[in-house]
Amino acid sequence: MRALLRLQLTVVTLATLMVAGCASPTAKSDSPSGKGDAQLKVGTSPKNTASGAVGTAKDKTSDAHSFTDIVQVVGTHIQMLDHGNGYAWGYHGNDFHLFHTHDNGVSWQPCPLPALPTYAYDEEGPGNKNDVSVTFASDKTGWLTWVSNARLHVMRTTDGGTTWKENDVAIPAEITNIGQLQFVSPQQGWMLLLGDKSTGAAAKYLYETQNGGHSWKEVNSSTLDLPHNGDSAIMRFSSDGKHGTLVSTNSFSQQPLTIETTNDAGAHWQNEAVTLPTTLVNQTLAYATIPPAPNKSQVANAVAVTDSALGLLLFQRDAQGQWQPQTTSLQQVQACTWLSVQVGFALEHKDSHYLLYATNDAGQSWYQAGSVPNDLLADHMTVLQLDMADTQTGWLLLQDSHLHPVLLETTDGGLHWTQL
């Protein structure tokens, strides 16, 4: 039960957060997506969208390599890199498995793996010692990482998983898990490492690599600029590798949200004053950072938070550099993902339906882009991840009551969905 509860309390992505995403749980991964300052395509305004959706489930008998047939793991994550390539991973028993798609998620194949630690995911839940985290910077270049015995273990592939090279880094003994792993290029990346968080606070250490993970150095920690309070955190660096945002949440504190920013690749962080709504309760369900703009003169940094009472909140930096909260009309938001500060998507659970909403004006207004057909959903579904490659193509990862993953795809901005 503990593992399931912890699994339910986050999401993004993918990039999304994987990447990008409103809050992908546990060891989050993020990678360069090339999304840039995306804008909604002509024909996707509110008047041109339908409130319903037609869904289809692919014939599994004719496709023995479908996601449902192949990716039978728990603790499932996906990272779609472009319109063709992507990865999925999770645990079957105590063994870690990685899968690859070359055809936009239609079929999946297992990837060869090096020797990895076993991990009792069903008992331990996500994010403890020996739990493997994953991120890819491209279809060929990716990393597997885990923490054990006061060491950070990093496996790197440059050929899509055919071969792997390991590097180990000595780390403080109090570190128990990897909070997040993000690369903005095949060479530059960061790892946010966390200590034990059973008390509602966790020591935080930020490591950076500039050579693709061959070596890592500690660039900051909670003994310096990073917040010690908060039992979970998520970070997002811009493509220039200098500007970043780190959000820490603490569901047991009267100050449940902390925002910090950096302009020098994480070497120094500044705490941002955030005025929280008086009705904000101490139960943050999901949150995500939106890509900061490399040019500091642009007002292009925001944080999205899903609160159990207020719904979706956006904290955005104004022209004077202040962070201002903005409450949206969306309630029961399960996940959200952003292509830019202006363009984002949010999945709302309302009246037993999953509704996809979109914004083209930084969350000031939202319109319903589509809904997920109930015939594609089993009872007691849990949303794990929402990821949009652009304004038309996206994926929704769910799990049923037996922790089996289900992957849905849209190619028309959420109007229609197909089970992969």
Instruction: Please state, as a whole number, how many other Cβ atoms lie within 10 Å of the Cβ of residue 366.
Output: 20
Of 61, 80, 69, the closest CA to residue 21 belongs to 80
pLDDT at residue 107 is higher than 50: yes
pLDDT band, residue 295 (cuts 50/70/90)? low
- Is it the case that residue 1 has pLDDT exceeding 60? no
As a whole number of angstroms, the distance between CA 337 and CA 340 comes to 9
Q: What is the pLDDT of residue 249?
A: 77
- Residue 31 pLDDT greater than 50, yes or no: no
Query: What average pLDDT does this structure show over 248-252?
Result: 71
Between the ranges 62-66, 164-168, 269-273, where is the mean pLDDT highest?
164-168
Q: Where does 14-85 show beta strands of DSSP type E?
A: 28-30, 55-57, 74-80
pLDDT-derived band at 405 (thresholds 50, 70, 90) equals very high
pLDDT at 420: 92
pLDDT at 229: 76
**Number of alpha carbons in the 13 Å side-chain half-sphere of residue 230:** 21
| pLDDT above 60 for 199 | yes
Mean pLDDT of 165-178: 92
Give the per-residue pLDDT at 257: 77
Strands (E), 216-359: 217-221, 232-237, 244-249, 257-262, 270-272, 284-290, 302-307, 311-317, 323-327, 333-338, 344-350, 353-359
Please tell me the predicted confidence (pLDDT) of residue 99.
96
pLDDT, average across residues 122-145? 91
3-class DSSP state of 46: helix
User: What's the mean per-residue pLDDT of the chain?
Assistant: 79
Could you give phi then psi for residue 352, rounded to 5 degrees? 65, 20
* 118, amino acid identity: T
pLDDT tens-digit readout, 32-64: 443 433 434 323 333 333 334 445 444 443 456
Counting Cα atoms < 13 Å in the Cβ hemisphere of 328 gives 30
Find, among 395, 15, 388, 386, the residue nearest to 184 by Cα.
Answer: 15
Structural domains of the chain in order of their starting residue, each with its CATH number: 2-419 (2.130.10.120)
Q: How far apart are CA 94 and CA 349, in angstroms?
A: 32
Residue 255 has pLDDT above 70, yes or no: no
Looking at the predicted structure, is the pLDDT value of residue 378 above 90?
A: no
- Prediction pTM value: 0.81
pLDDT above 70 covers what percent of the chain?
76
Residue 21 in this model has a pLDDT that exceeds 90? no
d(CA 371, CA 407): 15
Strand order in the sheet with 142-148: 133-136, 142-148, 151-157, 165-170
Separation between Cα atoms, residue 136 and residue 2, nearest integer Å: 29
Q: Quote the pLDDT of residue 164.
A: 95
Mean pLDDT of 180-196: 91
pLDDT in tens, 200-234: 678 899 999 999 999 999 999 999 998 887 777 88
The arrangement of strands across the sheet holding 382-388 comes to: 55-57, 417-419, 405-410, 394-399, 382-388
Residue with more model confidence, 368 or 238: 368
Helices (H) and strands (E) in the chain, counts: 3, 30
CB atoms within 10 A of CB 116: 17
For range 389-413, the mean pLDDT: 92
Task: Please say if the pLDDT value at position 19 is more than 60.
Answer: no
Residue 339 has pLDDT above 70, yes or no: yes
